């Protein structure tokens, strides 16, 4: 789940998990995350209903044993749609976060290690993007590319990269003047080698914690864009589009909206609690970032 | 100023890259090629890119944002009509977050380490985590649909302030709830820092009552970073405002842009986004001014 | 008549490494209208002493034994409400750092008005009193100064404002915690003179904390020498400075740069460090650094009265 954790050797990893589990909030977060991840991974085992099968006879059914969360306006099983929507949400979250990390690290290293003027230009660009309301950014991009998961990923990357790049840049600038980098330079190490072997290992771990804390934000962006009809295309289930279906019919069949919102709430809370606990345990310095 | 200019440049590039012919959209499918060409010339779309950009840039600085393609009204007028609704929504959100966040954060700091502190901490994290549109829909579901305490849609009767305020309660809660958490955490952290400072020790040594120390001596300093935080957060609140306006079917700039983009009404999009960006910069300035009014050290530097 | 009488005061802090014995069997008096200096290296317990008197010990600290009698009341037994009534009214404090001691966002006048919140005077009466106090500490244009904020004053002026605030309610005891350390030499002299003048005017006692021996000698009537949370020697300034009886007090006086003749190349220092207060040595606390150590130092040394009012906590004190 977390690259930060998988990087550690296995006994260290167990110890890490134990420390998180000992915090009540962290344990609760892990439980929620496991619940949602498990639901997404084993979606086909947990329900026999096809998330996209339209069945006009079963429209707007209230929750029952057969349809645990009821059905929507097309008679599709909501429980199945929620589980399969989880797949979309989590895979988008992972993919988009990984992409923004990769781009953020590269841009941050360039800004920190490159010439001064480039640094200034990039900072200005980062600030301009950051000051843009996310929704406006999303709306504009969707008009460019049309509603799709690609658009969602691009929005996430644009939202996340400035923050990551900034951190990498600051850390790189701090390390650039340090003795061991100077030593490596004097021994004839090339820039690429210095970046890879001396700077990267030092900047990566705070970044990974931050990135894991941003996962709920990414999930919220995917759900929000799908809610506005800017994300996944209709037959594909997404928590956001379920929420939108439910919103349209909120007066008569409120369970659809509840079914769409609940997984978003549980997942964002789970990842946030987990991330907060990890940050408090492993990097108290980050605590001041609000 | 720089940010506004850069935003304009980015905006223009985006709009220019977007496929689709605004003239075709404006005239509808039954227009002839000649009519489209005529409008294109009128809109300046036949000129080279840089001329188009210069015209756009120059006109925008003079307040001319072009015309709404669909209704042919001035973009500036259309946006200004909607702006008060969005401003009311954002200030409503700020009111919620300040009215709840500051007392909660202050309380948590005074009671630090206790159960109350921990509960406030977890609640803050929770409300920050949950996306505002989910809050909006659940609030609509609970308070408007199930309990029927508050109206579900619209902005209230024009001219009836009371009705408008009642219609503002739920949307502004959706915009502000996450900020309650941000502010509570921020105030708690800066309160703890201020309470450790030397002048608080002096105030105690002068025998001032603990209430006076907490609220007059510590809180007045501890809320300063919050004001700055709110200024920076306006952009995020504008995002939430788009959702709140759609969910609660309120008029407003967010809904305007959303509809305009879906109908490819580009002058309206650029105009509204530009106004939003300017608004963002102005509200940041306002936040700086408020900090100045509250902090004599900053004031003397201005 | 003594204003403040401290008897066998013991203060401990609970820390992760065990209980830290910060003050051990501290006893001394502050007589009426006298200035008593407390001197010692940093970490000798001066700040703990102040906090104990003011009832402002940190949450993990507590008074284990002994008494602090102020105007007939034992401060260690008073409730927080009564303690708060005394602070600022009967016992007042001037702190070391004039930059940080005043609230940065409230005007000086507002802060001075707040200190008088208990007086029952009207707002204009309070402001008149504040203005008179500022004039007394020689703040130019006192009336305008009330509307100004701390950062608009220089360091020396800020310290005078702090002194004005401390003496506003005409306290019986003023605690001055290194009030001149942060000031440069000329300001230091002026501030000391001001303090003495005000002390005579208000007729209060002063507990003057400093590590600057010259200032103590100049200003104080009596001296208390502290080391590692204990009072190792006390007496009149004359007694302690001319005939120091405790080896630590002697070394401290030898180390004072002001006493060195011009020819000395390097300043003498006392070798060693203050012992870990979580594990106090069983006998004399100074034994590990003392050059006159004898076998008897392994036992707790007695407080020896060498003269009337001159006491040293050392087994060798009487032998001299």
What number is the ipTM of this complex? 0.82
Q: Report residue A239's pLDDT band, with 50, 70 and 90 as the boundaries.
A: confident
Contact C149 B296 (CB under 8 A): yes
First to last CA, chain B: 18
Share of chain A above pLDDT 90, in %: 0
The answer on B33 and B95 residing in a single domain is no
Quick one: pLDDT at residue C207? 92
The C-alpha of B190 sits at a distance from chain A's nearest C-alpha, in angstroms, of 10
Mean pLDDT value of segment B203-222: 88
- C88 with B208: Cβ contact below 8 A: yes
- Cα A251 from Cα B145, distance rounded (Å): 6
Assess whether B225 and B96 both reside in one domain. Answer: yes
| B9 and B95 both lie in a single domain | no
Those residues with Cβ within 8 angstroms of residue A98's Cβ, 6 or more apart along the chain or in another chain: A3
Dihedrals φ, ψ of C91, to 5°? -120, 125
Residues B83 and B55 in one domain: no
Q: Write the burial class of residue C115 (CB in 10 Å: 0-12 exposed, 13-18 middle, 19+ buried).
A: buried
Report domain C2-90+169-269's class: alpha beta
B68 in a structural domain: no
Length of chain A: 290
* Cβ atoms A266, A90 nearer than 8 A: no
What are φ and ψ of residue C281, in 5° steps? -65, 150
Residue B125 lies in a domain: yes
Q: According to the model, what pLDDT value does residue B120 have?
A: 87
Q: Which of A133, A220, A243 sits opposite B238 (nearest CB)?
A: A133
Mean pLDDT of A57-74: 68
Q: What is the pLDDT of residue C175?
A: 92
pLDDT recorded at residue C36: 93
Sign, Cα dihedral of A272, A275, A280, A285: negative
The string of pLDDT tens digits covering residues B132-146 is: 888 888 888 887 777
pLDDT of residue A255: 74
- Asked which of B176-185, B215-224, C291-300 is least confident by mean pLDDT, the reply is C291-300
List phi, psi (to 5°) of C31. Answer: -70, 160
Residue B67 lies inside a defined structural domain of this protein = no
pLDDT at residue A41 in the model: 75
Minimal Cα distance from A265: which residue of B? B130
pLDDT at residue A196, as a whole number = 73
- pLDDT above 70 covers what percent of chain B? 74
Quote the tokens at residue C109.
């006048």
Give the angle B156-B96-A239 at the CA atoms, nearest 5°: 80
Closest Cβ opposite residue B207 in set C86, C107, C162: C86
What is the C-alpha to C-alpha distance for residues C256 and C279, in angstroms, rounded to an integer? 29
Q: Which residue of C has its CA nearest to B293?
A: C105
By C-alpha distance, which of A272, A214, A239, A200 is closest to A98?
Answer: A214
d(CA C13, CA C229): 12
β-strand C2-15 against C18-31: which pairing, if any? Answer: antiparallel
- What's the length of chain C? 320
Interface-testing mutation among B203, B204, B207, B218, with chain C (most C C-beta atoms within 10 A): B207
**Considering only alpha carbons, which residue of chain B is nearest residue C92?**
B206
Mean pLDDT of the B177-187 span: 89
Cα–Cα distance, B181 to A64 (Å, whole number): 36
In this complex, is the C-beta atom of B235 within 8 Å of any C-beta atom belonging to chain A?
Answer: yes
* B157 and B15 assigned to the same domain: no
**In the predicted structure, residue B24 carries a pLDDT above the cut 70:** no
Kindly report the nearest CA distance between residue B261 and chain A, in angstroms: 7
Bigger pLDDT: C215 or A200? C215
Question: What pLDDT, on a 0 to 100 scale, did the predictor assign at position C45?
Answer: 85
Q: State how far the Cα of A88 lies from the Cα of A222, in Å rounded to an integer.
A: 9
Is the same domain home to B116 and B204? yes
Residue B66 lies in a domain: no
Confidence label for A69 from pLDDT (cuts 50, 70 and 90): low
DSSP secondary structure letters along B212-235: HIIIIIIIHHHTHHHHHHHHHHHH
pLDDT in tens for each of the 320 residues of chain C? 788 999 999 999 988 878 888 888 899 999 989 999 998 887 788 888 999 999 888 888 889 888 999 888 888 888 888 888 888 888 999 888 777 888 888 899 999 998 888 878 888 888 999 999 899 888 888 889 899 988 888 888 888 899 899 888 889 999 988 888 777 888 888 888 888 899 998 889 999 998 888 888 888 999 999 988 888 899 998 888 888 888 888 888 887 766 655 555 555 677 777 778 788 888 888 888 888 888 888 888 888 888 888 888 888 877 44
- Please check whether residues B43 and B162 belong to one and the same domain: no
- List subunits contacting chain B, requiring 3 or more Cβ pairs under 8 Å: A, C
- The verdict on B43 and B96 lying in the same domain is no
Structural domain boundaries, residue B37? 2-61
Report the C-alpha gap between C62 and C53 in whole angstroms. 12
> What is the residue whose two structure tokens read 């030397």?
B198
Residue B237 included in any domain:
yes
Check residue B10 and give its pLDDT.
63
The answer to whether A120 faces chain B, any CB pair under 8 Å, is no
Closest Cβ opposite residue B182 in set A227, A228, A290: A290
Q: H helices within B62-111, ranges in order?
A: 75-110
- C89/B197 CB distance under 8 A: no
Q: Is residue B74 part of a domain?
A: no
Residue ranges of domains in chain C: 2-90+169-269, 105-163
Q: Which residue of A has its CA nearest to B280?
A: A131
**Nearest Cβ partner of B300 from C100, C152, C162?**
C152
Q: What CA–CA distance (Å, rounded) separates A105 from A102?
A: 5
Number of domains in chain B: 2
Average of pLDDT values for A68-87?
A: 73
Q: What number is the average pLDDT over the span B97-119?
A: 88
B229 within some domain: yes
Helices and strands, counts by H and E, chain B: 15, 0
Question: A58-67, A97-106, B154-163: which has the minimum mean pLDDT?
Answer: A58-67
Domain match, B40 and B132 both? no
Same domain, B221 and B260: yes
CATH number of residue B170's parent domain: 1.10.3720.10
Domain identity same for B26 and B84: no
**Do both B213 and B101 map to the same domain?**
yes
Query: How many CB pairs lie under 8 A apart between chains A and B?
Result: 116
Look at residue B163 and tell me if it is in a domain. Answer: yes
Candidates C56, C114, C166; nearest CB to B204 = C56
């Amino acid at each position: 789940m977390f690259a930060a954790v998988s990087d550690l050797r296995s006994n260290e990893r167990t110890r890490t998990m134990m420390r998180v589990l000992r915090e009540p909030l962290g344990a609760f977060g892990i439980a929620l995350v496991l619940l949602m991840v498990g639901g997404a991974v084993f979606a086909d085992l947990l329900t026999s209903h096809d998330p996209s099968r339209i069945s006009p006879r079963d429209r707007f059914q209230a929750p029952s044993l057969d349809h645990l969360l009821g059905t929507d306006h097309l008679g599709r099983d909501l429980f199945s749609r929620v589980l399969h929507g989880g797949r979309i949400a989590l895979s988008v979250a992972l993919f988009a976060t990984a992409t923004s990390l990769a781009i953020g690290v590269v841009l941050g290293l360039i800004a920190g290690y490159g010439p001064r003027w480039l640094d200034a230009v990039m900072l200005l660009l980062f600030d301009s993007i950051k000051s843009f309301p996310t929704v406006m950014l999303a709306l504009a991009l969707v008009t460019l590319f049309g509603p799709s998961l690609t658009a969602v990923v691009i929005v996430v990357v644009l939202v996340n990269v400035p923050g990551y790049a900034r951190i990498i840049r600051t850390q790189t600038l701090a390390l650039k003047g340090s003795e061991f980098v100077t030593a490596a330079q004097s021994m004839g190490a090339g820039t690429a080698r210095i970046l890879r072997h001396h700077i990267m290992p030092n900047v990566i771990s705070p970044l990974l914690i931050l990135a894991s804390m941003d996962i709920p934000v990414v999930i919220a962006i995917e759900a929000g864009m799908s809610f506005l009809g800017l994300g996944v295309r209709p037959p594909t289930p997404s928590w956001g589009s379920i929420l939108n279906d439910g919103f349209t019919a909120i007066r008569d069949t409120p369970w659809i909206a509840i079914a769409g919102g609940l997984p978003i709430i549980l997942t964002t809370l789970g990842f946030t609690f987990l991330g907060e606990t990890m940050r408090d345990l492993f990097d108290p310095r980050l605590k001041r970032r609000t | 100023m720089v940010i506004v200019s850069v935003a304009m440049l980015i905006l223009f590039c985006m709009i220019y890259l977007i496929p689709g012919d605004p003239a075709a959209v404006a005239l509808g499918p039954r227009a002839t090629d000649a009519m489209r060409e005529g409008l294109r010339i009128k809109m300046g779309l036949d000129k080279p890119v840089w001329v188009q950009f210069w015209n756009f840039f120059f006109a925008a600085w003079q307040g001319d944002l072009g015309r709404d393609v669909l209704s042919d009204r001035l973009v500036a007028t259309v946006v200004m009509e909607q702006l008060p609704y969005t401003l009311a929504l954002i200030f409503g959100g700020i009111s919620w977050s300040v009215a709840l966040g500051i007392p909660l954060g202050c309380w948590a700091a005074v009671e630090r380490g206790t159960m109350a502190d921990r509960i406030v901490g977890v609640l803050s994290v929770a409300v920050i985590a949950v996306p505002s549109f989910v809050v909006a829909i659940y609030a609509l579901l609970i308070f408007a649909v199930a309990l029927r305490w508050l109206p579900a849609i619209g902005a209230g009767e024009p001219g009836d302030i009371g009705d408008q305020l009642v219609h503002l309660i739920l949307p502004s809660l959706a915009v502000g709830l996450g900020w309650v958490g941000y502010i509570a955490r921020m105030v708690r952290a800066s309160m703890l820092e201020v309470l450790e400072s030397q002048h608080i020790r002096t105030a105690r040594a002068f025998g001032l009552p603990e209430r006076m120390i907490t609220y007059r001596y510590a809180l007045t300093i501890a809320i300063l970073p919050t004001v700055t935080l709110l200024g920076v957060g306006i952009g995020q609140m504008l995002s939430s405002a788009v959702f709140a306006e759609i969910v609660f079917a309120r008029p407003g700039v967010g809904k305007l842009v959303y509809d305009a983009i879906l109908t490819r009404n580009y002058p309206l999009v650029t105009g509204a986004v530009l106004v939003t960006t300017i608004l963002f910069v102005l509200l940041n300035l306002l936040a700086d001014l408020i900090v100045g009014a509250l902090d004599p050290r900053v004031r003397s530097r201005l | 008549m003594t204003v403040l009488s401290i008897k066998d005061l013991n203060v401990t802090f609970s820390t992760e490494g065990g209980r830290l014995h910060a003050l051990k069997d501290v006893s001394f008096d502050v007589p009426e209208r006298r200035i008593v200096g407390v001197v010692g290296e940093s970490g000798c317990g001066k700040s703990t002493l102040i906090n104990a008197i003011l009832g402002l010990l940190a949450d993990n600290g507590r008074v284990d034994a002994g008494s602090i009698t102020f105007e007939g009341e034992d401060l260690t037994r008073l409730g927080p409400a009564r303690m708060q009534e005394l602070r600022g009214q009967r016992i007042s404090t001037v702190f070391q750092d004039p930059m940080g001691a005043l609230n940065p966002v409230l005007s000086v006048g507002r802060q001075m008005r707040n200190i008088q919140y208990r007086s029952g005077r009207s707002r204009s009466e309070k402001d008149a009193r504040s203005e008179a106090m500022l004039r007394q500490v020689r703040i130019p244009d006192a009336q305008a100064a009330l509307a100004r904020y701390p950062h608009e004053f220089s360091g020396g002026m800020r310290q005078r404002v702090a002194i004005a605030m401390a003496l506003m309610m005409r306290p019986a005891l003023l605690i001055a915690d290194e009030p001149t350390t942060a000031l440069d030499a000329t300001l230091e002299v002026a501030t000391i003179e001001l303090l003495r003048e005000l002390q005579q005017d208000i007729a209060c006692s002063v507990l003057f904390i400093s590590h600057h021996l010259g200032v103590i000698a100049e200003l104080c009537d009596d001296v208390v020498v502290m080391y590692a949370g204990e009072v190792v020697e006390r007496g009149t300034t004359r007694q302690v400075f001319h005939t120091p009886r405790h080896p630590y007090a002697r070394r401290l006086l030898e180390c004072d740069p002001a006493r060195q003749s011009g020819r000395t190349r390097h300043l003498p220092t006392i070798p060693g460090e203050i012992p870990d207060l979580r594990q106090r040595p069983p006998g004399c606390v100074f034994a590990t650094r003392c050059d006159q150590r004898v076998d008897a130092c392994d036992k707790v040394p007695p407080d020896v009265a060498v003269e009337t009012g001159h006491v040293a906590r050392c087994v060798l004190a009487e032998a001299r």
